[in-house]
Amino acid sequence: SGGRTALMEVAGTGHVAVAEVLLAGGADVDLQDSNGETALIKAALWGHGDVAKTFLDAGAQPDLRGKGGMTALHFASQEGHGKVVQPLLDGGAQINLQDEQGYTPLHHAAENGRSAVVKLLLSAGARSDILDNDSQTAVMKAEASGIGDMVQKMVLEQQ
């Protein structure tokens, strides 16, 4: 089980109504499993924006860190889940937090070729000049994933 809760399991299914029942019954939205992951992180990984919003509305802390120092926004950005990225940003997630590799959510989106999420993060104020632990910017990561020209253009448009 790894310390997973019923709320974490529901996060993976996308069932908002069940999540609401568990929350109304007193489920702790910020409990972490053995990997440090919360129900919000699970919703981010699985791309369930409505469930993520439900957790945020119930007081979930958006910047709790799971495996590798990653937050829900890091995971959603890595997986390309724009439907989760937006509620996280609206819920106060810090857009430029760095994980243990020095990656910001923008680094994760760029490295994985998630162009729609890159655009969303840049338009929300993500900094493209932050260096990771290997002295790489998100633009450098984008070039390696084949979306460098598009990201470079978006960065220039943001200036």
The answer to whether residues 88 and 109 belong to one domain is no
The answer to whether residues 46 and 18 belong to one domain is yes
Residues 78-137: pLDDT tens digits?
999 999 999 999 999 999 999 999 999 999 999 999 999 999 999 999 999 999 999 999
Helix 39-46, helix 82-90: angle, nearest 10? 140
The answer to whether residues 88 and 100 belong to one domain is no
Cα 93 to Cα 21, 32, 51, 97: the distances in Å are 25, 17, 16, 9
The answer to whether residues 155 and 116 belong to one domain is yes
How high is the pLDDT of residue 154?
Answer: 80
**Final residue in a domain of this structure, among 43, 63, 94:** 94
Percent residues over pLDDT 70 in the chain: 99
The answer to whether residues 76 and 89 belong to one domain is yes
Say if residue 2's pLDDT is above 80.
Answer: no
Percent residues over pLDDT 90 in the chain: 84
Q: How many distinct structural domains can be found in the chain?
A: 2
Are 29 and 58 contacting, i.e. CB atoms less than 8 angstroms apart? yes
Say if residue 66's pLDDT is above 70.
Answer: yes
**Which of 155, 151, 147, 152 has the alpha carbon at shortest distance from 113?**
147
The answer to whether residues 100 and 79 belong to one domain is no
* Number of residues written out for the chain: 159
Which CATH number goes with the domain that contains 152? 1.25.40.20
- The amino acid sitting at 20 is E
Find the mean pLDDT for residues 142-146: 86
Say if residue 43's pLDDT is above 90.
Answer: yes
**Which of 36, 39, 22 has the alpha carbon at shortest distance from 70?**
36
How high is the pLDDT of residue 146?
Answer: 85
The answer to whether residues 103 and 86 belong to one domain is no
Say if residue 38's pLDDT is above 80.
Answer: yes
Say if residue 1's pLDDT is above 70.
Answer: no
Provide the residue range defining the domain that includes 158: 95-159
The answer to whether residues 90 and 108 belong to one domain is no
- The amino acid sitting at 25 is G
**Which of 80, 68, 72, 66 has the alpha carbon at shortest distance from 110?**
80
How high is the pLDDT of residue 143?
Answer: 87
pTM value? 0.94
**pLDDT-derived band at 153, boundaries 50, 70, 90:** confident
**130 exposure class (CB count in 10 Å sphere: 0-12, 13-18, 19+):** middle
The answer to whether residues 44 and 72 belong to one domain is yes
The answer to whether residues 60 and 22 belong to one domain is yes
Distance between start and end Cα atoms, the chain: 47
